[in-house]
Structure 1
């Protein structure tokens, strides 16, 4: 158990005990609460969930609650009374209900900023989301394929070629960080990008830590590295603004330029500097961490799945044959990689990078005959539908053919990218990044797992055993 977690629980217990008891009693006067127990004050069921995630039994932990209480139950997580909702109907309720606000852990808000898209609602959320959609619209994504390809090829030349073993997860994290920082900021290789990458490695360490600023904790280190990264991002924002004013940069040169160029009808800038910096910080995390996990687990799957590997290699060889020697990949080429993306979706179903998320009820609301009191958290998890055998038969079996048809599962069942008005704006970007990387990786290398144990932990993101070391063979060097 993380020492900071224990210390934090002790530190806050006395201050919130009365609040929790009060919250627990009042709703009985409003309606029928879901079955379940809030458990011990402050602690609730938090430690049990964290232990299950670390032991990779979180899906079983959720299913045990469903078996005991049904698809709707109450509990206490991270110091707040919570309602767990499971199933496609529950997911739809969470994604499309305007009275449920995003509820990020306090640690996330302190590290990534208070004005990020993760916490905004209403017109503020619409403004920021609109800016991101402008940056990630299809016409813009077409322009990014070449930049992604350049980073991928350089990465494989420098970090894979000529090596007998590599450790996949940290390499994927660095690749996806390099790609997103280039597209966000136009930040080329060099000392600034290296320093920002080093900061973000530690920023991520504390996103789900207990937000108590004590020496030698992951949270303290994350706060320090976040402050350092924000100074860099602020500097880039101001430099980009100056370039735009001098006509030395364009709207399409990166997300920062795109955000700075957004104005209202009167010509006033839509976003403040703080909003731009917060948006960039969240985009850096979302744009590289989840993609790196997807790529890592896809590589792990292919090492022990020769049929899928052969089908995927064939698909990419056919794409390569349709092009001239040395021709760059295009958006149209990516559209031909259908089997690869189906395999990636199946990885996202089985190992979603984000286990679940929280909302907060802004007023008393009802679902399935139960009241969810104002101020309570709502917790949903991808595993509740992803691993439901009634929705996805034999859910533990890797089967990309599940995604041959768009309507293969009920709406709001496959929720790796969320859903509703807050569905991930970077879905198509993640697809492009994954397909370009797999195209060059599959055509250049073969690999084997160094460790045959097929295990991983969630901390809170899924991490394979020893970060997935593999034995590598360069196809060009093979007889």
Structure 2
């Protein structure tokens, strides 16, 4: 964002926000005091500093500098709103379980994902949408998905990896996970519509964490346009599914959209509008494909330089393959034998959590650790504050799968490993992500060997982590004659 644009933004919003922020600085007599820190410039606040640190891969240091300066609770301004940053296990527990806080993404996220996306829903609305998702992600359904995911993974590797001397991992992983989620939960067949929707989702996050001002040539404008195109496609799918339900060609169990359309109240009236279904579908697609693709990309990145971990994974998967016939698909019971691979995934998530942090909104004046969080303020928590805390995870920069021998570090206090969030809002698709990760890695490590093309092994966040140049690798197909 250039300097003239910043001046324009400040000129537009300065009178109103200066009044609001000045008033927000004054706690009521006798009330708990506001946390230490500064709200910074109107509109801008500390947003550009955080975004710059994320893109430079110094965001963990940026957060730690604030903690060193102000303590585990501090105030700042992010994306146009006064914010309280909370860090540490106790803070995470407060964020995940407090009834005084509600989910609310920054305005930029809501504009792009829709006002009724599942990340922002509360109360009965959230329960309805989450319940519908849970219906398709319950164990009985997940067992059925393993074979279909197996087929999608093998087709993807045959078409996009086999016979190539080099590939770029991240876009391929994004397309794989998008195909899996769109096929399983939306019954969207391969073809031009799915290709166009996938292309829009690739650009959807360009301006998710940005100052929410819709001006030409900004990342926020690009994201809004990609979102509008994607929403039109999904709205068309909703109309088609509605017609199929009316003709008896689909049922509530056909796919997620059919289930959402079939939700009714006691009088038989539909519970959700078309807009709510589109917003819910957008959030599900984003949550279902982006985070898993990042996890698998960074697993590939780590394994390129860790031959011992790779060898242990190959041994685990060779043992599973020995008991299966040629071409036989993986089944649910096979996944239970992939314990070491999942520990590799969890340690990857600890070191590079796809979601750097998230937001809540105070729905009433509340307190934490003796500080006031005023009603309407944002609350910001970050994963790195506990993931990289040496008091919780010994030698936190070291890759150590033994931390997760018992599914979670035995020495870590609750709410320390938060790659999937926590509390009632813990990721509903966590088990689905586990399945697609394990199936993909089973075929990937048995079939290919690779090395990194870039000497500089780094990544940036925008806001999701992305390795340098999308992680180009030199590829050797071990199954080739």
TM-score, structure 1 length as denominator?
0.96
2:167 counterpart SS class: strand
Which residue of the partner structure matches residue 420 of structure 2? 417
Please tell me whether residue 14 in structure 1 is matched to residue 15 in structure 2: yes
Query: Could you tell me whether the CA contact under 8 Å between 1:52 and 1:58 is conserved in 2?
Result: yes
Which residue of the partner structure matches residue 240 of structure 1? 241
Query: Could you tell me whether the CA contact under 8 Å between 1:260 and 1:269 is conserved in 2?
Result: yes
1:263 counterpart SS class: coil
Which residue of the partner structure matches residue 186 of structure 1? 187
- 2:465 aligned to which of 462, 469, 475: 462
Which residue of the partner structure matches residue 362 of structure 2? 361
Which residue of the partner structure matches residue 269 of structure 1? 270
Which residue of the partner structure matches residue 124 of structure 1? 125
Query: Could you tell me whether the CA contact under 8 Å between 1:84 and 1:378 is conserved in 2?
Result: yes
Please tell me whether residue 115 in structure 1 is matched to residue 84 in structure 2: no
Which residue of the partner structure matches residue 279 of structure 1? 280
Aligned in 2, Cα 1:421/1:2: closer, same or farther, shift over 3 Å?
A: farther
**CA offsets per residue over residues 148-189 of structure 1, 9 Å max, x none?**
111111111111011000000111111111111112211111
Which residue of the partner structure matches residue 393 of structure 1? 394
CA–CA distance in structure 1, aligned partners of residues 65 and 428 of structure 2: 33
Aligned in 2, Cα 1:457/1:241: closer, same or farther, shift over 3 Å?
A: same
Report the more deviating stretch, 431-440 or 216-225: 216-225
2:26 counterpart SS class: helix
Please tell me whether residue 453 in structure 1 is matched to residue 456 in structure 2: yes
1:389 counterpart SS class: coil
1:189-268 paired onto structure 2 within 5 Å: 189-268=190-269
**CA offsets per residue over residues 87-141 of structure 1, 9 Å max, x none?**
1110000000111011211121112111111111111111111111112111111
**CA offsets per residue over residues 402-455 of structure 1, 9 Å max, x none?**
000145221100000100111110100110111111111111111000013221
- What is the deviation of 1:21? 0.9
CA–CA distance in structure 2, aligned partners of residues 280 and 330 of structure 1: 28
CA–CA distance in structure 2, aligned partners of residues 343 and 169 of structure 1: 18
- What is the deviation of 1:2? 5.7
2:474 counterpart SS class: strand
1:79-98 paired onto structure 2 within 5 Å: 79-98=80-99
Aligned in 2, Cα 1:443/1:55: closer, same or farther, shift over 3 Å?
A: same
Aligned in 2, Cα 1:28/1:200: closer, same or farther, shift over 3 Å?
A: farther
Query: Could you tell me whether the CA contact under 8 Å between 1:455 and 1:464 is conserved in 2?
Result: yes
CA–CA distance in structure 2, aligned partners of residues 41 and 379 of structure 1: 18
Aligned in 2, Cα 1:146/1:253: closer, same or farther, shift over 3 Å?
A: farther
2:342 counterpart SS class: helix
- 1:474 aligned to which of 471, 474, 477: 477
- What is the deviation of 1:278? 0.6
Report the more deviating stretch, 404-413 or 291-300: 404-413
Report the more deviating stretch, 158-167 or 32-41: 32-41
CA–CA distance in structure 2, aligned partners of residues 90 and 159 of structure 1: 44
CA–CA distance in structure 1, aligned partners of residues 248 and 314 of structure 2: 45
- What is the deviation of 1:362? 1.0
Report the more deviating stretch, 461-470 or 59-68: 59-68
Query: Could you tell me whether the CA contact under 8 Å between 1:349 and 1:414 is conserved in 2?
Result: yes
- What is the deviation of 1:389? 0.7
- What is the deviation of 1:43? 2.7
- What is the deviation of 1:196? 0.9
Report the more deviating stretch, 462-471 or 209-218: 209-218
Query: Could you tell me whether the CA contact under 8 Å between 2:178 and 2:285 is conserved in 1?
Result: yes
CA–CA distance in structure 1, aligned partners of residues 198 and 438 of structure 2: 23
Unaligned runs of 5+ in 2: none
1:99-114 paired onto structure 2 within 5 Å: 99-114=100-115
Aligned in 2, Cα 1:162/1:360: closer, same or farther, shift over 3 Å?
A: same
Which residue of the partner structure matches residue 432 of structure 2? 429
Aligned in 2, Cα 1:202/1:321: closer, same or farther, shift over 3 Å?
A: same
Query: Could you tell me whether the CA contact under 8 Å between 2:205 and 2:463 is conserved in 1?
Result: no
CA–CA distance in structure 1, aligned partners of residues 378 and 102 of structure 2: 9
1:125-164 paired onto structure 2 within 5 Å: 125-164=126-165
Please tell me whether residue 306 in structure 1 is matched to residue 307 in structure 2: yes
Name the Cα RMSD after superposition.
Answer: 1.7
Report the more deviating stretch, 324-333 or 336-345: 324-333
Please tell me whether residue 24 in structure 1 is matched to residue 25 in structure 2: yes
1:309-328 paired onto structure 2 within 5 Å: 309-328=310-329
1:477 counterpart SS class: coil
- What is the deviation of 1:25? 1.9
Aligned in 2, Cα 1:4/1:447: closer, same or farther, shift over 3 Å?
A: farther
Query: Could you tell me whether the CA contact under 8 Å between 2:389 and 2:396 is conserved in 1?
Result: yes
- What is the deviation of 1:5? 6.6
CA–CA distance in structure 2, aligned partners of residues 4 and 331 of structure 1: 57
- What is the deviation of 1:29? 5.5
